[in-house]
Structure 1
Amino acid sequence: MFQMDGHQIRITHSRCSRSDIIAQMARSADQKGRDDAFFLVDLADVVNNYRRWRRLLPRVTPFYAVKCNADPILLQVLSLLGTGFDCASKGEIGTVLQMGVAPARVVYANPCKQISHLKYAARNNIDLMTFDNEAELYKIKSTYPLARLLLRIATPSNNDVLYDLSTKFGCHPGDVSGLLGTAKNLDLDVVGVSFHVGSGVEDPGVFFESLRRAHLVFEIAAKMGFALNTLDLGGGFYGHPGAPICFEKVAAVLNKSLDTFFPLSSNVKVIAEPGRYFASSAFTLVASVIAKRMCTTPAEKTDPHGLATLDPKKLSSDKPTYMYYMNDGTYGSFGLVHFEVSRFIPRLVKEPASDVTFTSSLWGPTCDSVDCVLKEVALPELQIGDWFYFENMGAYTISLQSRFNGMPTPECHYICDEDIWKTVLKQRQKPMNRHRSEST
């Protein structure tokens, strides 16, 4: 065992798979009488995804989106690797500054900022930030007139993405000249353009059109006397195996688009704000069955959930269905279940006693009847105490957790491949003179 910022890191070998480690940890939990859900966090996965990013997008500097997952060890690893950080609030800015991250490695990428948070950024020299409306410019002028600004533009509305963010943010093409004119009149320093095609891009072609729009803004700004030098590509990148589109395809389209609109000769600095790309596949959630119920099939039509409790006196030859209650749910790590249900695939830790499967449903531990993780999934009959795990659980899981009903949030356990620990992470850990952010 080694330590990073007070957290234990278990060093592993390539011959030991993640599923093997999960099985060991589940057995250990049973022996110690522990039945809470937990995360297994693979730090080597983060390093490998960083290496892949630098290999496939050499011109683009990643600024990790802290909102995706602010786990302290994940942030520390990314900081050691040299990424920047996309922060959206005073709290996120303070978190990365306390880690020793220099202000120059932070972009305040929230187009609509709270005034007290803006003042905090000014006191701590976080000067690169986004805007997309006139009111924000007047706010910045009165609060932080020396800030360097990125005009966030809207992306095409027909994006094939998981979450379209342009319904809330982004200056539309027809408003660009007027907004830049206001910035000019206020003597504010607009240094570049920002956009965000949406979280979870499934059609990389949207980057081409967004870069075309950004290039037009650069041309309009130049005619108005601005010298733009920075381009922020936002996020939307998948990084995990089995994603709707592989990162390699997105990187190929992005590189070609950059060469078309912003070639190396333009001397434009290019950054991006990946979140799920780094966080998703590094985190595996391990949960267990805390209760079960057998149900009739088919259900009574009066049941809004499509399930009916089995009455032992009315048993028939129908194949039963099962309701399983887990120690984590939609108020915990499965907050995105209503939007991303297809991503939650339970995998059993130990081999089932039988190959026969039953139509089952998975429920969280709270007293709320909408706390349902999966309404229908084929599973063998499980028993109380059985463990299963869910892969690719690092994106917007920990960050959306609540303590509803007083339920515990899963603890994180960290592992790292021995070679990567010795050659990358251990070597880069040095005592730091932390940048101390000012208090409120």
Structure 2
Amino acid sequence: MEAVLMANKKNADIKFYHLVQPYFFAHHHFHKRKIDVLRQNGFDAKILSVVPKSLYIKNYNRYSMLEKNGYVELIVVPVSAIASIYLFVFLFREFLKSNKLSIHVLRSNPWPIVFFKVFPFFNSKLHYFQEFEGDSYSEFIYSREYCEFPRPPEKASRLLNKVKSNFILKLDKVQALVADGLILMSDEHVKLWGLRLKRTIRAAVLPTLADPKLVWFDEEARTEIRSRYNLGDNLVLTYTGNVICHWQRREEMCRLIKKLSADVPNIRFMAIVRSDDLVLMEESIRRHGILDLTILLSVDHDQVYKYLSAADLALFLRHDHTMNTVVTSGKLGEYLSAGLPVLTTGSNAAVLNRFISSANAGCFIDDSLEVNALVLDYLHAINKDKGNLNKRHNICNATHAKFRDSENPFNSYAQFVKAISIG
């Protein structure tokens, strides 16, 4: 007991900041889980974000609520162009107070931290953790050379894209080499970075899995929502999330819904998107002639599980590409946590595919989205048996049992941070 108290005292001597992008609301619940587990392990931990003044004013109520809750510290800057300078000054002041810092960077400018790591005096007071939430090199190529068929290339073919993608990779390598530890999404992600750096890397695997305390199958909500939208005996397919990114395959998703509805006439499509994406999604829905089949919604994130409970089958239709196969999608995790079977291309980390197969929690479709007899047979089976809610509970329970342990990756993350921060 005394050893634990001493270890926690050492942790409390270190200020821990999780540096995230300015507009972090969509993933705040995931960031908060990291802070919670670090605090449980004795760290003085907060989320840190450098926010342009215009964005702060626009979202003042949301930012101020998080600040009052004590989870977030904000550095408000006049314009984003000088965010690095303000961050540099903030860190320098912390060092002048003789504070030891551990900083976990995610989707934010790391270069002020990298700068301090170069100098022995500051390096002795600073531990730097770099999280790669996905793979920016392959994401860049996928987005810049996007094509539906057969799929975007793994390597850039255009000269300018080759130059830019190689530059992105070099910058990521610098971050990976300077960091004291990496936070990655899957075993595949660890293997990828080991090959790139040609060495064994020090990394923690922290998949983006749903929190069982926040996402589950809610039978009462299913009944209420299906009644509200007159869904009756309809087979409800759903998608939730942003639709602005290429890898969500918005157009092909709508085309697939249209195709499936020809064979399964009672299909309805529940599209749950960000409020910013409502117009964009409606345009695609109209373009593919499925407006009459569609319920287009935007709901608060903490209510999404209720709408997933009301659906019968979720869509996860990503390409077979490195940017997808090294990640554990939070979206896919939420579907399964809500007891919702999935029609999926399986383009994600293998641990989720193995679970879907073992738990009988979905059907795999080729990333060309070709509708074959296997897919249609699965849809007809789901349609026939959608009233059997025991299956929904079974998928929900199996997901929670497998990943309740959803807390285990977070605890492992905290132990990883502790081992590096206090030695």
Same fold (TM over 0.5): no
* TM-score bracket for the superposition, by shorter chain length: 0.3 to 0.5
What's the TM-score, normalizing by structure 2? 0.34
Q: Does 1 or 2 have the higher relative contact order (CA < 8 Å, sep 6+)? A: 1
Decide which structure has greater strand share. 1
